[in-house]
Chain A
């Protein structure tokens, strides 16, 4: 095996490990954030009891962290792992076991193509020349197509769970999930077409590079190369962004589109019959899909890991800058994650028919009109 391939394999493995670990941590703390933010919005307190030995007894800081619920995810994890893994008698066993995995794996796979930082130069480590490595697990040229292809698979997990549970509420949840997926997937795909018409690339890294140069698509105020073209196209991009965001909500089954789960009407929808780690898998799937969705929004419309100040929109020349860019990406992502959580505690659920109406008769035509308008504006930009 030649050294290039070896270093590629090793580094890819490291990246996969780090990204997976980071995303799992983010999942745990997104759940905590969800609980804390929902508590604050509803004038409650939220988790504030779990204390960590030693750290909990540091004067001011310990009780503060406890009040913040910082240790809650650890305890939740232990609970999920140690809880009895109960399988009801009446379920279709094989599918019942398969469904949580099918629900979670696609959301994790999406993470592979998301560029979470610029490239970093690692030089020689242990005699192996790593050199410059892009901060993306797989720099696919069809990145976005891959994403759409994979994301739409996650609904099978839910449908499968609904079928395998062999009881009425999960079944209704599964049916709803499939109907919802069909009505939003198309609008979501259509909403990003204008982005690719402008940039002319499907590779997510190139999309970020374009935005670093010409300003963020949905917010082109700071660009190294100010041009009026970006502002002419801004309305289209804002509409694209809104449609994409709404579709992302529907894709991740978050309120106001949480019809498959619908605690108040379907008990807990597709995951009613699930418990312990199998339930946690569905939960992970939902939250990782949220993280991936926020990451896609950031990459497509808000310049990915770039920030238009202090040369942070250029490829990192030092490790510190590289890490800083990753943190910028995580920061931007967290903003949208926070927004998703916030919206959940604000809006009531759409009715089944309202959802269909919104998806097919409002958002899809709007997305199509947006494509046409973008085409006209691009032509106008070129002509003038």
Chain B
């Protein structure tokens, strides 16, 4: 396709309209910037960034509203994790019981290597207990590699409390209690 070039008239050929137009545009941007009417740059470390809802930052473990660890050490996240960043040590047959009633077990140790994690969200996706969530943190720093491996305690304290009203094991507990008080005909 051949685009017809408009014949420039004398005034346009002096470059004057282009020059004045350019001056206008740059002056507008200059004034907008200097008066602070238009602000584009975020002064990042000084002004904290607000991440959008549903942001996939670092994965952390969460507790339920009763303060119990939700993770039951099923190791699904460990298996699904593409870069193998998660390492779970299950309690074993004689290990410590879970700290909430009627849950079968909880991990003895839960480690996420944040240097390996790719923030894919598969762990959150696969978790049957809704115990791990990708949260808002995106700026993880440490002075050594060892420091970047987050253990269970750290993950739980960073993860905070999950406000979800659904408590899977609460239901099981109620069921068991109902069993106990079930009127049996003598």
State the A residues within 8 Å of B (CB): 37, 39-45, 342, 345-347
Contacts of B23 in A (CB 8 A): 342, 346
Q: How far is the CA of A346 from the CA of B23 in the complex (A)?
A: 7
Do A40 and B41 have beta carbons less than 8 Å apart?
no
Name B40's contact: one of A41, A43, A347 (CB within 8 Å): A43
Do B19 and A40 have beta carbons less than 8 Å apart?
no
State the B residues within 8 Å of A (CB): 19, 22-23, 25-27, 29-30, 32-34, 38, 40-41, 43
Do A37 and B30 have beta carbons less than 8 Å apart?
yes
Q: How far is the CA of A42 from the CA of B32 in the complex (A)?
A: 11
Would you list the 3 A-B pairs with minimal beta carbon distance, nearest first? A346-B22, A40-B33, A346-B26
Contacts of B27 in A (CB 8 A): 342
- Closest B residue, CB atoms, query A37: B30
- Closest B residue, CB atoms, query A350: B15
Q: How far is the CA of A345 from the CA of B41 in the complex (A)?
A: 19
Q: Is the interface of B mostly helix, strand, loop or mixed?
A: helix
Q: How far is the CA of A37 from the CA of B29 in the complex (A)?
A: 10
Contacts of A37 in B (CB 8 A): 30
Do B40 and A342 have beta carbons less than 8 Å apart?
no
Contacts of B41 in A (CB 8 A): 43-45
Contacts of B34 in A (CB 8 A): 40
Q: Known A-B contacts: A41-B33, A43-B29. Give 9 more (CB < 8 A).
A: A39-B33, A40-B34, A41-B26, A41-B30, A43-B33, A43-B41, A44-B41, A342-B26, A346-B25
Contacts of B19 in A (CB 8 A): 346-347
Contacts of B22 in A (CB 8 A): 346-347
* A44 CB → nearest B CB, Å: 6
* B14 CB → nearest A CB, Å: 9
Contacts of A39 in B (CB 8 A): 33
Contacts of A345 in B (CB 8 A): 26
What are some 27 contacts across the A-B interface (CB < 8 A)?
A: A37-B30, A40-B30, A40-B33, A40-B34, A41-B26, A41-B29, A41-B30, A41-B33, A42-B29, A43-B29, A43-B32, A43-B33, A43-B40, A43-B41, A44-B41, A45-B41, A45-B43, A342-B23, A342-B26, A342-B30, A345-B26, A346-B19, A346-B22, A346-B23, A346-B25, A347-B19, A347-B22
Contacts of B43 in A (CB 8 A): 45
* B79 CB → nearest A CB, Å: 46
Q: How far is the CA of A121 from the CA of B26 in the complex (A)?
A: 45
Contacts of A346 in B (CB 8 A): 19, 22-23, 25-26
- Closest B residue, CB atoms, query A45: B41
- Closest A residue, CB atoms, query B39: A43
Contacts of B40 in A (CB 8 A): 43-44
Q: How far is the CA of A342 from the CA of B27 in the complex (A)?
A: 9
Q: How far is the CA of A346 from the CA of B20 in the complex (A)?
A: 10
Q: How far is the CA of A43 from the CA of B38 in the complex (A)?
A: 8
Q: How far is the CA of A347 from the CA of B23 in the complex (A)?
A: 9
Contacts of A42 in B (CB 8 A): 29
- Closest A residue, CB atoms, query B34: A40
Q: How far is the CA of A42 from the CA of B28 in the complex (A)?
A: 10
Contacts of B32 in A (CB 8 A): 43
* B162 CB → nearest A CB, Å: 39
- Closest B residue, CB atoms, query A344: B26
Contacts of B25 in A (CB 8 A): 346
Q: How far is the CA of A345 from the CA of B26 in the complex (A)?
A: 8
Q: How far is the CA of A41 from the CA of B22 in the complex (A)?
A: 11
* B106 CB → nearest A CB, Å: 47
* B20 CB → nearest A CB, Å: 10
Q: How far is the CA of A43 from the CA of B32 in the complex (A)?
A: 8
Contacts of B30 in A (CB 8 A): 37, 40-41, 342
Q: How far is the CA of A41 from the CA of B25 in the complex (A)?
A: 9
